[in-house]
Every structure is written in C-alpha cells, then in structure tokens.
Amino acid sequence: MLTPAGFDPALTAAYRDFIVINYTTLAATVFMFYDFLITFGQEVTHFWLAPVSAATYLFFTIKYLAVVEKILTLSLWAPNMSNKRQFTLDILQFVPWGVFSAMRAHALARTWVLTALVFVLSLAPLGTNLYLFRFQQDGIVDPLYGCQQNFEISYPHSVTVKCV
C-alpha cells in the first residue's frame, strides 16, 4: 500500500535490488576489462606471435566472444538490440567452454568416451536455453509479485502466470 506521502516500501526495495544488481554487473565488467588490459602484453607474446593452433582459436573465441557480448550489453544501443541477437551472444559462449572442458578431460583421461560425455554435459545449459527460447518462455522473479513465468503469444501481448 502507498502511504499518504506516496512512499511504497516494496517499490523502494525493488529499486534498491535493481541498483545493486546493476552496480555488481558493472563492477564485474570493469574487472574483466581491467584483466583484459593488464594481460594484453602476455596475450600478444603467447598467442598473437606464436604459431596458430587449435588452442589459439579456442582462446580467442572464449576471450573475445565475452568481450563483444559485454560491449554490446553495456553500449547505448543495446536496449534496441533484438532479444534473438542478445540470446545468441549469450548461448554461443557455452560452445567454446564445452570444447575447452572436453579437451581438459581428454588430456587427463585419454579416453574419447569421457571426452564426449564431458562435451555433451557441458552443452546441457545450451540445450536448456534453446528449448526455453524456442517456446518463448521466460521466467522472472519480481520482487513485488514473486516468481512468474511469461508466455509470449504475439508481439504486443504476453500472458503472465504465477509460479506455484
């Protein structure tokens, strides 16, 4: 309920949580770019000037896919970027990490069965996200109303169902 002065404690708490999430995300992004800057010299020495290998491609894919995703997310035109493009950037990051995990498993165990198993299990979040995106389901935790699930019916309309 709104008080006579127009002060809603739940709305204030939601705004506070929104600010904390944004500042935390910004701090993590600044730390990522700081790490990018202080390790750039070593990157040039060990990857740019070294012979090209699969590890080089994997390193560049992992590092620069994350950098591009953060730049597009933080840029001024990112709110105008379609959900499909943002989603594609988010889920593409699972693939190189799955390859990296599988390579580590193969280096440790030297068995292709374990390598394939680690790769498939590493891509489980990718499959889950693709499934949810295919059916245009989106779950949100609203501080005012609790857990909700959105179903997109057509572009301007959506149905919100409370979680049980």
Q: What is the pLDDT of residues 100-150, one digit of tens each?
A: 999 999 999 999 999 999 999 999 988 887 777 776 665 555 656 655 555
How many helices (H) and strands (E) are present in the chain, helices listed first?
A: 7, 3
Report the predicted TM-score, pTM, of the whole model to 2 decimal places: 0.63
Percent of the chain exceeding pLDDT 90 equals 35
Strand order, beta sheet including 146-154 = 137-142, 146-154, 157-162
Residue 105, number of CB atoms within 10 A of its CB? 20
Indicate the SS3 state at residue 123: coil
Residue for token pair 């489980």: 124
